[in-house]
Amino acid sequence: MEFGLWQVWEAGWVTAILRGASITILVGLASMAAGLVIGIVCGLIKWARIFPLSLLVDAYTSLVRGVPELLIIYLLFFSSVEFVTKVVTAFGYAGVAESGYAFVIAVIAIGAISGAYSTEVVRGALGAIPDGHIEAARALGLSGARIFRRIVAPQMLRIAVPGINNVWQTTIKDTALVSVVGLQELMRISFIGANSTRHPFIFYLIAAVVYLAITLVSQGGFDGIERLLRLRTRKTV
Amino acid sequence: MIDLIQLAVPVLLKGLWVTAALTFISVLIGFNLGLGLALMRLSSSWLLSGFAKYYSTVFRGTPLLVQIFLFYYGLGQLSLIKDNAALWWVISDGSRCAVLALALNTAAYTSEIMRGGLMSVPAGLIEAAQACGMSRVLRFRRIEFPLAIRQALPAYGNELILVVKGTSLASTITVLEITGYAKRLMSQTFAIFEIFAIAGILYLVINLVLIAVIRSIERFLMRMRRDPAMGRAPRARTNP
Amino acid sequence: MKLKVLTLLACLAGSMGSALAAEGELSIGTEGAYPPWSMSDANGNVTGFDADVGALLCTKLAVTCHFVVQAFDGLIPALKAKRFDVIISGMSITADRKKEINFSVGYAELANMFVAAKGSDLAAITDVDTLLKSLDGKKVGVQAGTTHAHFLEKRAPNADLKTYDTLDQMQIDLASGRIDTAFADQSALQDFLDKPDGKNFQLVGVEIKSTFDPTLGEGIGVGIAQDNTELKAKIDKALCELIADGSVGKASQKWFKTDISRPCK
């Protein structure tokens, strides 16, 4: 019997795959948000060389960037997930712990990974801000917070956009790895479909196409943002 | 604790060689393929450059895990592959299949890195070589490639580390490398953190060795430069 | 340092809790991909022998059942994390696992067997020692984290072991000829032989009982957290009654066409 796209559609796999894709995007966005928060905090620590903390950040980024993502996911999956569940339960979200358990681990794992890469991007962007700008602001008597808000943050964000784009592309692809711990995202659904229908080729091909669509669309989005930022810079110059 | 180390270290060291072999072979194939793709991308034929561009988009736009599963389980299903002895030899074995996926994947990233390197070679140098009557092959070997690789080396070093990390995915298709053994030990001994720490250290050691090798190659390539900042490639800017 | 804080927090949070995570509900962790023990369909409903045993147990204890599907490798860590109250997933009772969790009395026991291509050398073997010796250099499929995997690691150290996360993957590789043989319990292999993929395969005529080697466990039991002695007592009592009155045997007839229930001592 030939097994084609029509059978995939008839058996209801298309909706399942789309549901999986939406979870992939959700995990991607949530991990990216978590990663950016980590990245900005750790990037600032590294940039400002706040002594004992910067050592911790160094250890974190070199560990996460040097060890395979899959190994990190296994670590979280087999162990400190206990901690995750318990914290979530302790805060009284037992229901969330039940349904969103795999989701929470996924976001923690992928967020920690994307945080390490974001840290480097943020630090690089901060380093690219000319010292003169900050010195000038200081000479004008602006407060530290104000310097950060008006001088440092806007420039950093602009310089960091291409780097953040790279991190996002890696993050969305890394979400495929959490399928090994059972979160029903795009890769997991394809995996289940492939195993239960015994037609892995078509399911993994569909998965590849959907991932490609996600990365291409977001690439387009980032290109747009970059163009917009470049236009604004040109106008002000 | 000491029992655990005695149990885990030899097992994980066995995995270390598999990880190293997977990395080495994939990089060997992937680098040459990537270089070829970079040249295709820069060629004037729209067919060649178009192919290279789509190749790179597809392989960089999809997760490596999907590629590995597609090759291993997906292609393994097709009778077309099974009936061809040479293809089935590659696809039938988890580690050969992982090498195939890793090599094709790193080729895509390598092609982007090498393209950047080749584009940074100043046009004047190529024209000068042409004026000297160098053939295309000689020009590439003597002028373009050495300059491009010098420019591309730092980025390529990062790519090598990504390949090392990528080999861990081979464990999902039954290959027992560091991560595969680590997972097995984790489910056997339940000493999750300890196993993770040992496996993590092994990966960090591989990466440190790689970084050291890349640094020394960089220094070797830069040996004739009297640049005070040793080891750092001066950025050749082609456009202002 | 950080780790210690995490552990401390985890301990604090873990100290709150009763016999059951939620009163009146028994949450059951199961693999959901191990026919005919535990299968899950597209909507996430769990069926199979273990689903039936779970349902019987819940009726006996007068609670509602709630199944949580989780990869086999992760069942014990998840139980320890109190993600569910018990594991019912065709899990063999072994010494290694007993270090981590408690088990109820065994409720079932199956023979462990090899499967091989019809007419192959392996298929003709009839005694266990020859069989284990002839595995040298052969590609042998087995599911990750199972007693079968541990048994082969110990008894057939020179076999080229291929471990799979799910039996489905193993069956795909068996059918495509990537592995020479596979080791699992008889029911799982029968499931494969009944599929079109399995038509060229047969069971190797050697039954390896758990009495042969303790790594194969002491039958199949319900996994319970170590500190939950109250629940273990309740489940042991209920299981013994269910085995004695033949309910487990009936469920076994439905899924295995034979009675695999293990008499309760």
Contact B232, B152 (CB under 8 A): no
The answer to ipTM > 0.90 is: no
Q: Does B29 score more than 50 pLDDT?
A: yes
Domain with A31 in it? 5-236
Nearest CB to A71 within list B67, B166, B182: B182
The predicted pLDDT at position C8 comes to 42
Cα separation, C207 vs C209, whole angstroms:
6
Cβ contacts below 8 Å, chain B against chain C, sum to 41
Q: Mean of the pLDDT values across residues B36-54?
A: 95
Give the count of beta carbons closer than 10 Å to the beta carbon of residue B182.
30
Closest residue of chain C to A83, computed from CA coordinates = C10
- Output the six-digit token pair for C81: 């994390």
**B214 Cβ contact partners less than 8 Å away, ≥ 6 residues apart:** B153, B154, B156, B157, B160
Average pLDDT over residues B77-99: 90
pLDDT of residue A168: 95
Query: Which amino acid, B36?
Result: G
d(CA A9, CA A13): 6
C70/A90 touch (CB, cutoff 8 Å), yes or no: no
Partners of residue C2 in chain B, C-beta under 8 Å:
none
Strands C38-40 and C46-47: antiparallel
In a 3-state reduction of DSSP, which class is residue C91? coil
DSSP H or E segment with residue C183: strand C181-185
Residue B164 has a pLDDT of 96
What value does the mean pLDDT take over residues C139-152? 91
**Distant-in-sequence, close-in-space partners of A26: CB < 8 Å, separation ≥ 6:** A103
Using the predicted structure, report yes or no on whether residue B238 has a pLDDT greater than 60. no
Q: Tell me the sheet residues that pair with A152.
A: none
Per-residue pLDDT for C44 more than 80? no
Q: Does B66 fall in a domain?
A: yes
Give me the residue from A12, A80, A195 closest to C168, CB to CB: A195
The distance of A194 to chain C (nearest Cα, Å) reads 9
Lowest mean pLDDT among A53-67, B93-107, B219-233, C126-140: B219-233
Residue C176's CB: how many other CB atoms inside 10 A?
17
What does the pLDDT average to over C59-78? 87
A65-69, A179-183, A227-231: which has the highest mean pLDDT? A65-69
Q: Which residues of A touch B (CB under 8 A)?
A: 62-63, 65-71, 74-75, 78-79, 169, 173-177, 179-180, 187, 190-191, 194, 198-205, 207-208, 211-212, 215-216, 219
CB C164 within 8 A of CB C141: yes
Contact A188, A179 (CB under 8 A): yes
CATH code, domain with A124: 1.10.3720.10
Query: How much is the CA Rg of chain A, to the nearest whole Å?
Result: 21
Alpha carbon of B92: minimum distance to chain A alpha carbons (Å): 15
In a domain, B233, yes or no: no
Contact between C166 and C145 (Cβ < 8 Å): no
- Structural domains of chain B, count: 1
Q: Given pLDDT bands bounded at 50, 70 and 90, which one contains residue C230?
A: very high
With respect to residue B232, please indicate whether it lies within any of the assigned structural domains: no
Structural domain tally of chain A? 1
Give the pLDDT band of residue C111 (cuts 50, 70, 90). confident
Give the structural domain span for B97.
2-221
Q: Give the CA radius of gyration of chain C.
A: 19
- Choose the weakest-confidence range: A93-97, B141-145, C235-239: A93-97
Could you say which of C144, C162, C169 has the minimum Cβ distance to residue B187? C144
**A141 touching C (Cβ < 8 Å):** no
Strands laid side by side in the C112-117 sheet = C160-164, C139-143, C181-185, C112-117, C201-203
Greater confidence, A13 or A173? Answer: A173
Residues 6+ apart with CB under 8 A from A211: A24, A172, A173, A176, A186, B61, B62, B63, B66
With respect to residue B192, please indicate whether it lies within any of the assigned structural domains.
yes
Check: CB of residue C204 under 8 Å from CB of residue C113.
yes
- C203 forms beta bridges with C115
Domain-embedded: residue B236: no
Give domain status of residue B211, yes or no: yes
How many angstroms separate the CA atoms of A227 and B40, rounded?
28
**In-domain check, residue B12:** yes
Q: Is the pLDDT of residue B191 over 50?
A: yes
Q: Kindly write down the DSSP assignment for every residue of B189-231, as one continuous string.
A: H--HHHHHHHHHHHHHHHHHHHHHHHHHHHHHHTTT---SSTT
d(Cα B179, Cα B203) in Å, to the nearest integer?
10
| Domains of chain C with bracketed CATH | 23-109+219-256 (3.40.190.10), 112-216 (3.40.190.10)
Q: What is the DSSP string of C127-145?
A: SHHHHHHTTTT-EEEEETT
Look at residue C12 in the predicted model and tell me its pLDDT. Answer: 39
Secondary element (H or E) of residue B54: helix B46-61
- The pLDDT of B101-119, averaged and rounded, is 96
CA distances, A183 to each of A46, A176, A190 (Å): 34, 10, 12
Contact: C12, A180; criterion CB under 8 Å: no
Residue type, A145: A
Residue B9: CATH number of its domain:
1.10.3720.10
Contacts of A200 in chain C (CB under 8 A): 172
Q: What's the pLDDT tens digit per position in A187-216?
A: 988 888 887 777 889 999 999 999 999 999
Nearest C-alpha neighbor of A42 from the set A126, A158, A100: A126
Identify the contact set of chain B against chain A, taking CB-CB distances under 8 A: 57-58, 60-67, 69-70, 73-78, 161, 164-169, 171-172, 178-179, 182-183, 186-187, 190, 192-193, 196, 199-200, 203-204, 207
> What is the DSSP-derived secondary structure letter of residue C185?
E
CB contact burial C116-132 (16+ within 10 A = b; e otherwise): beeeeebbebeebeebb
Structure confidence at residue C6 (pLDDT): 44
CA distance B24 to chain C (A): 23
pLDDT at B9: 93
Contact C10, C4 (CB under 8 A): no
Residue of chain C minimizing CA distance to A197:
C168
Is residue B234 assigned to a domain?
no
Is A201 within 8 Å of B65 when comparing Cβ atoms? no
- Going from the C-alpha of A11 to that of each of A183, A197, C227, the distances in angstroms are 21, 10, 45
Nearest to B169 by CA among B113, B105, B89: B105
- Whether pLDDT at C254 is above 80: yes
Name residue C25's beta-bridge partners: C22, C64
Q: How confident is the model at residue C209 (pLDDT cuts 50, 70, 90)?
A: confident
Q: Dig out the tokens for A199 from the structure.
A: 């037609």
Q: What is the pLDDT of residue B106?
A: 97
Task: Map tokens 């072994």 to a residue.
Answer: C94
